[in-house]
Amino acid sequence: MGERKTSVVAIINQKGGVGKTTTAVNLATAIAAVGKKVLLLDIDPQGNATTGFGMPKGRKLHSSYGVLLGLVDPLEVMMESYVHQLFMIPSTIDLSAAEVELFSQKDRESKLKKAIAHLDFDYIFIDCPPGFGFININALNASSRIIIPLQCEFYALEGLAQLFSTIQSVRNTINRSLIVSGILLTMFDRRNSLSYVVAEDVRNHFNELVFDTVIPRNVRISEASSHGKPVVLYDVRSSGAVSYIELAREFLAREQNT
Ligand SMILES: Nc1ncnc2c1ncn2[C@@H]1O[C@H](COP(=O)(O)OP(=O)(O)OP(=O)(O)O)[C@@H](O)[C@H]1O
Ligand SMILES: [Mg+2]
């Protein structure tokens, strides 16, 4: 059993391309940088968090696939990253088969929770795939917190009702202690009036659930991932990096108040 209380945080939104991976990678890095022991768990078969970190994709068992299916101890597959105190469990394309393989297992919703229960970290951040499959149900069951990145675009709110109803049914059935840490506005474009409209709309709907920190659209963020680095390491002065560091501060403050 671990000594510290590990906070498991799923970065989730069933919509694709809203900034989940970018948020997972940068928040994990920024929080490790303030001295916390952090694990970044990539459970998306696309493996964008793995490559975004410049890490090699895992081999079938030696990856989140093996962990999710309970075939290997996460301690055996986690890799130390180039950031002090930041560890990573990589993904593999084999994970795409896990949805089907989980389906026939009787504890199919709690495999991940059981697999990581003995780990000793301050924070485990889970980079979730888009969609609502068993992989994501496992993430919601294993987590105590959720962060929902929301892209500042016209259809931002669409699908959010479905996400909240999924969260509610997870709470009612398998994980009563699941809390939404916050909704994060991403890819905010200062030159586009639609960004302001969407941000205001989201704040009117969700009030203090929305993080004060807003992530701007910033080309350094996409450049950074193509260099296999989080933007907070690639260009710490860029607006993207500054806002992710601010998010880390706000997230930690929220953690202390709950
Ligand atoms: N604030 C930003 N400014 C500019 N580009 C961004 C920003 N956030 C993310 N991106 C880019 O947008 C793309 C999608 O981001 P990301 O991969 O984080 O989304 P995702 O929600 O994880 O997507 P998926 O659902 O496919 O996993 C990536 O190319 C990323 O580099
Ligand atoms: Mg992603």
3-state SS of 123-150 is EEEEECCCCCCHHHHHHHHHCCEEEEEE
Q: What's the pLDDT at 100? A: 92
Q: pLDDT tens digit string along 14-68?
A: 999 999 999 999 999 999 999 999 999 999 999 999 999 999 888 888 999 999 9
Q: Is residue 89 within 6 Å of ligand 1 at its C-beta?
A: no
Question: Which has the closest alpha carbon to 28: 95, 70, 82?
Answer: 82
Query: Distance, CA 128 to ligand 2 centroid (Å)?
Result: 7
Q: Is residue 64 within 6 Å of ligand 1 at its C-beta?
A: no
Q: Quote the pTM value.
A: 0.97
- How far apart are the C-alpha atoms of 9 and 179, rounded to whole Å? 9
Q: pLDDT tens digit string along 158-192?
A: 889 999 999 999 999 999 999 999 999 999 999 99
At 3, is the pLDDT very low, low, confident or very high (cuts 50, 70, 90)?
low
For residue 40, the one-letter residue type is: L
Q: pLDDT tens digit string along 89-136?
A: 999 999 999 999 999 998 999 999 999 999 999 999 999 999 999 999
Which of 11, 15, 20, 22 for mutating ligand 1's site (highest number of atoms within 8 Å of CB)? 22
Cβ atoms 153, 19 nearer than 8 A: no
Across residues 224-252, what is the average pLDDT? 97
Which of 150, 215, 222 for mutating ligand 1's site (highest number of atoms within 8 Å of CB)? 222
As residues whose CB is below 5 A from the ion ligand 2, the structure lists: 20-21, 48
Proximal ligand: closest to the CA of 27: 1
Task: Give burial (CB, 10 Å; 0-12/13-18/19+) of 236.
Answer: middle
Q: pLDDT tens digit string along 191-211?
A: 999 999 999 999 999 999 999
Name which CATH class applies to 7-256.
Answer: alpha beta
